[in-house]
Amino acid sequence: MGHSAPPGLNAPVLSLAGVGPRIGERLQNLGIHTVQDLLFHLPRRYMDRTRLHAIGALIVDQEVLVEGEIELTQVQFGKRRSLLCRISDGTGALTLRFFHFSKAQQNMLERGKHLQCWGQIRRVGKKREMIHPEYQHINEPYLGQVEQTLTPVYPATEGLSQGKFRKLTDQAMDALRDDSSELVELVPESLLIDAKLPSLCEALIYVHRPPVDAEVDALMLGTHPSQQRLSFEELLAQHLSLRSLREQIHEYAAPPLHGESEIAEAFMQQLPFELTNAQTRVIKDIRVDMHKDVSMLRLIQGDVGSGKTVVATIAALQAISSGYQVAYMAPTELLAEQHFLNISAWLEPLEIPVKLLTGKLSKAEHTSVLEDIAIPKAQLVVGTHALFQESVEFARLGLVIIDEQHRFGVHQRLALLEKAGAIQPHQLVMTATPIPRTLAMTLFADLDISVIDELPPGRQTIKTIAISNKKRDEVIDRIAIACRQGRQVYWVCTLIEESDSLQCQAATDTCEQLGTLLSDLNVGLIHGRMKSVDKARVMSEFKAGTIKLLVATTVIEVGVDVANASLMVIENSERLGLSQLHQLRGRVGRGTQQSDCVLMYQSPLSDFAQARLEIMRQTNDGFKIAQKDMELRGPGDLLGTRQTGLPALRIADLARDAGLLPQVQKTANILINDYPKHVQSLIKRWVADRLMFAQV
């Protein structure tokens, strides 16, 4: 436990017992500088060591506490050496497996000794195992003894064990109980009463050290009122930090872009299609924003194929005709190249030069583009993150367009803004990942939101079927028929491995197999490791109809637009999340003919995978799919929150806590208006060390 007279909450963490310079440095790397900071380093889960489970009744994937007598310990040799220890409690046997072990550990695990173990149950063949469980030896008198409270598990770092964290938080809890006045309550009491939430002090004590009679199930799910109290304050701080960022940006003048509407009109006249009402409405929002002398900060949400690129191009024309440059940033080389080809073709009749800047340009090409940007000869520059490298200097940057917003960090967006020098450019960010409205208003509180909620006329619903890999031959026959009817086909290869080279190899092998089986068809291949010039050549051949079947990795997930492609086959579809499946499916159905998507899967399917594929069969609505994806996987994957520049949330979960969001927004407004001093304190408490916004 802590000192007899614990240091105050605002004392440096180095004042705690057991914290020397090395431990202090590790704590500071986690954003823990004071004793109070430890209180906000919250358990991410709990271990329920309050009850023993019979080995014979264990369920796979459960995390449990078991007790048993060692029957056998041996080293198993194979691809990977491991130490196996079999324990039994009379109801059944369980194998403990250790990949990292010492001779001393092996000798300690003697037959006849009793162990108490905590870990997750895995099935290996017909047997059940725990891999690297936490365990302790127990003597006869103590058999059957369990913990009296839940054991907190903290987000840790190398060199800081769970035991160490528990000892340090014990001292922080002593300091809190000794003098809670140093813990400032930043949410007005009346609002807490309205939301039926406990005080901050009560919530922290409960969450760090749940009492004997704690509501175990609620705590494990993260729905206990004490956790909800802290989730509420964390979401509030996140929301306020983004609102604060918006205010910072608006402190700088932006050029009013009145532009010449004749250029935009001429552009729209030459399009082979009519704009939808939704596109027209969003274009109006953008025009109004860009007429102002503060920076437009607008997010466009639109499902795959809703026509966001056309809207962005019209915004670009307003900036260009006002005498300013436009930077159009895409998350991948392939998508940047596609946008470049499409926009160049659209703007060529208007004699507006468009340049491409990616990391794969030759040194001479790269230097030439940089010169054109600086002169400024390049009025619209399409590129990847290469756009915000130090060597890039825009002469008159008036508008920044960012596609697939969730693939970039907030800090990357701000780095691009700095390219404008003294003026603040307007910002237009887009996403094809539909996000429920309340969630979008919290995650993108620094942005106004417009939604393109209708697809172009003539688009037909994509028919989706799920089919076992055992029927692969039937799928290949179907491809042959479709291609002979003049249709074009995508075949997408997916792998569990993150490795680029393995993904590319799988696609290459599949391309060769399909090329042999469908020898009368021209089969193309595209993957992330190909040179830009080769990718561009393959895509232009596919667009022209020369290539009938395109084998690809998930590199084609966004932005590829070939109207005649009307059949999509996704191999191992059970390995992908709903949003990614929806994005891939959106590559077909872009013309007026009926399109189909075949989701091939490897049996047997888990319940989780089955649920995903069933949702894909049931609906084409991106918003419904996004909602389901968030419920199934949590928002981190759906939104790419790891890439958004938003920090990992410490206790809040956007899917679980979505019900708090309306109250978060309401409270944020009250604090900004009535308690402005609390705003920065809240941001500092929850976000400061985790969200390093560029200085704008």
DSSP per-residue codes, 500-556 = HHHHHHHHHHHHHHHHHHTTTS-EEEE-TTS-HHHHHHHHHHHHHTS-SEEEE-GGG
Domains (range + CATH), the chain: 13-46+153-214 (no CATH), 51-146 (2.40.50.140), 261-452 (3.40.50.300), 463-619 (3.40.50.300)
Three-state DSSP state, 401:
strand
Q: What number of other Cβ atoms are within 10 A of residue 690's Cβ?
A: 15
- Residue 692: the pLDDT is 41
Structure tokens at 18: 């057991």
CB 268 within 8 A of CB 314: yes
Q: Which amino acid is at 28?
A: Q
CB 533 within 8 A of CB 559: no
Outline where 331-420 has alpha helix (H): 333-347, 363-374, 410-417
For residue 673, CA distances in Å to 185, 249, 459, 678 come to 18, 19, 47, 11
Q: What is the distance between the alpha carbons of residues 340 and 116, in angstroms, rounded to a whole number?
A: 62
Q: What is the distance between the alpha carbons of residues 673 and 693, in angstroms, rounded to a whole number?
A: 24
Three-state DSSP state, 101:
coil
Task: Categorize the per-residue pLDDT at 558 as very low, low, confident or very high, splitting at 50, 70 and 90.
Answer: low
pLDDT digits (tens, 9 = 90+) for 458-498: 777 899 999 999 999 999 999 999 998 999 999 998 864 44
Q: What is the distance between the alpha carbons of residues 502 and 437, in angstroms, rounded to a whole number?
A: 38
Say yes or no to pLDDT of 422 above 80.
Answer: no
Q: What is the DSSP string of 592-619?
A: SS--EEEEEEPSSPPHHHHHHHHHHHH-
- Residue 84: the pLDDT is 96
- Residue 557: the pLDDT is 57
Three-state DSSP state, 403:
coil
Outline where 604-660 has alpha helix (H): 607-618, 622-633, 635-639
Residue predicted with more confidence, 645 or 315: 315
Q: What is the distance between the alpha carbons of residues 402 and 429, in angstroms, rounded to a whole number?
A: 5
- Residue 637: the pLDDT is 44
pLDDT digits (tens, 9 = 90+) for 506-548: 888 899 999 999 999 999 998 877 887 788 788 889 988 999 9
Instruction: With CA atoms as reference, report the closest residue to 430 among 451, 461, 412, 410.
Output: 451
Q: Which residues, in sequence order, are CB contacts of 651 under 8 Å at separation 6+?
A: 42, 44, 207, 222, 227, 230, 231, 234
Q: Output b/e per residue, 176-203; b: 16+ Cβ within 10 A.
A: beeebeebeebbeeebbeebebbbbeeb
Average pLDDT over residues 626-635: 69
- Residue 641: the pLDDT is 37
> Structure pTM?
0.74
Average pLDDT over residues 496-504: 56
CB 15 within 8 A of CB 35: yes
The DSSP element (H or E) to which 84 belongs, if any, is strand 82-88
Q: Provide the CB-side half-sphere exposure for 602 (13 A, CA).
A: 9
Structure tokens at 543: 């667009």
Q: What are phi and psi of 41, to 5 degrees?
A: -90, 90
For residue 688, CA distances in Å to 242, 681, 684 come to 12, 9, 4
Instruction: With CA atoms as reference, report the closest residue to 361 among 333, 339, 340.
Output: 333
Task: Categorize the per-residue pLDDT at 406 as very low, low, confident or very high, splitting at 50, 70 and 90.
Answer: low
| Residue 94: strand pairing partners | 87
Q: What is the distance between the alpha carbons of residues 358 and 381, in angstroms, rounded to a whole number?
A: 10
- Residue 16: the pLDDT is 94
Q: Tell how far CA 591 is from the center of its chain.
A: 30
Say yes or no to pLDDT of 644 above 50.
Answer: no
pLDDT digits (tens, 9 = 90+) for 331-363: 888 788 888 988 999 999 999 999 999 887 888
**Residue 30 carries which DSSP code?**
T
CB 354 within 8 A of CB 347: yes
- Residue 586: the pLDDT is 86
pLDDT digits (tens, 9 = 90+) for 377-390: 899 999 988 888 88
Sole residue written with tokens 């431990």: 23
Sole residue written with tokens 């329920």: 48
CB 427 within 8 A of CB 577: no
What's the mean pLDDT when you consider all of the chain? 86
